[in-house]
Homo-oligomer: A and B are copies of this chain.
Amino acid sequence: MQKIDKSILSKVIKPRNPISYKGNYGRILIIAGSLHFGGAAILSSSAAVYSGAGLVTVATTPEKFVSLNTRIPEAMTIDYHNIMETLNSIRQSNVIVIGPGLGTSELTQSLINMVTENTTKDQTIIFDASALTEIAEKNISLTQISAHVILTPHQGEWQRLSKLEIADQSTENNLQSIQEIAPDSLLIVKKHLSEIYYNNKVEQISAGNPGMATGGMGDTLTGIIAAFVGQFGFSKNTVSAALFLHSFIADKIYKKNYVVLPEELINEIPSTMKKITTKSSK
C-alpha cells in the first residue's frame, strides 16, 4: 500500500498569488451542530478559517450562534431551519461540509437531501460524523450526486455504512464496498494510520498518534479538508495533504503533551503551512 508522507504537503500547499481576494480561497458552508453538540461546529469552522479558507459560513441552530461568534468571529452564521437561506448558501458555496455534531434526525436527513440535490459537478460535498450515520440508518443513496463526494468515517461509522465488521475492513473489502456505496467518491477511513480510497486505489498515512484520541479531532480534520479543497481544488492530493497536515501537527504537539487538544492543533495551522511554502519555494 502506498504511503502518504511529508512530501505531499509541499506538492499541495503553494504560496499565494499576491493579487488575490477572499473569493479565490473558497466559499465553505459547514452544516453542523445541534442542541447537544455545540463544539463540533466551532472546531470545524475554526479549523477551516485557520487553514486559509476565504469565506466560512456555518449553518446551525440559532442557540449556537453566540458561542460561534465568540470563538470564531471570522465565520458567518445562518439558521439551517430556514430553507431558502440554506439553499442559497448551498448553491453559492464551493465546498459543503455536512455532519459534525448534527445528530441524527429528520432534519439531518432533509439537509442531506437538500445538499445532494442542489449541488453540481463544480462543488464538493464532505459527509462527516452524524451525516454518515444518518446515511447508513436511512439507506440514503450516494450514487446520483453530481458534486465531488468525500466521506470521512472512523471505523465504527464505516462499519455502519459498509456493513463490514471492523475485523473485516481489509483494503480489498473496503475498495469493493465503496464501489457499491459511492463509486466516484473519495473515502477516508479514520483509524491508527488512516487510509484514503479513491479511483480504486488506496494509500495510507504515515503519521498520527494516540494522543489524538480526544473529542473534536475529527471535526478539526473536516475543517482542514474543506479549506484545502476550497483553496487548492478537489483532488486526491489535496485531501491527502489535509489529512497529513492534521496528523503532522498532532505529532509535533504530542511530543510535549499527553493529549493533543483540537484548539492547540488549530492554532498551529497557519505557521505550519507557512513553513511548508517557505521551504518549498527555496
Q: Chain A interface (Cβ within 8 Å of chain B)?
A: 13, 16-22, 24-25, 35-40, 42-43, 49-56, 62-78, 154-155, 191-192, 209-211, 213-216, 254-259, 261-263, 269-271, 273-274, 277
Please name all residues of chain B whose beta carbon is closer than 8 Å to the beta carbon of A73 when the two chains form the complex: 38-40, 42-43, 67, 71, 216, 262-263
What is the interface of chain A mostly: helix, strand, loop, or mixed? mixed
Specify which of B24, B66, B270 is in contact with A63 (CB 8 Å cutoff).
B66
Shortest distance between the CB of A238 and any CB in chain B (Å): 15
Residues A70 and B67 in contact, CB atoms below 8 Å apart: yes
Closest Cβ of chain B to A179, distance in Å, is: 27
**Contact between chains at B75 and A39 (CB < 8 Å):** yes
CB neighbours of A270 from chain B (8 A) = 257-259, 261
Cβ of B39 and Cβ of A214 under 8 Å apart? no
Given contacts A74-B216, A271-B256, A277-B258, contact A38 B69 (CB under 8 A): yes
> Is B74 within 8 A of A18, CB to CB?
no
Using A50-B259, A63-B65 as known contacts, say yes or no to A74 and B213 having CB atoms under 8 A apart: no
- A selection of 13 A-B contacts at a CB cut-off of 8 Å is A18-B192, A35-B77, A38-B73, A39-B75, A42-B70, A42-B73, A51-B259, A55-B215, A63-B66, A67-B67, A74-B263, A258-B271, A258-B277
Copies assembled: 4
* A255 cross-chain contacts in B, Cβ below 8 A: 274
Question: Which residue of chain B has its CB nearest to the CB of A24?
Answer: B213
Q: Which residues of chain B are near A70, meaning CB under 8 Å?
A: 42, 66-67, 70-71
Complex: how many Å from CA A244 to CA B197? 46
Are B216 and A21 closer than 8 Å at their CB atoms? no
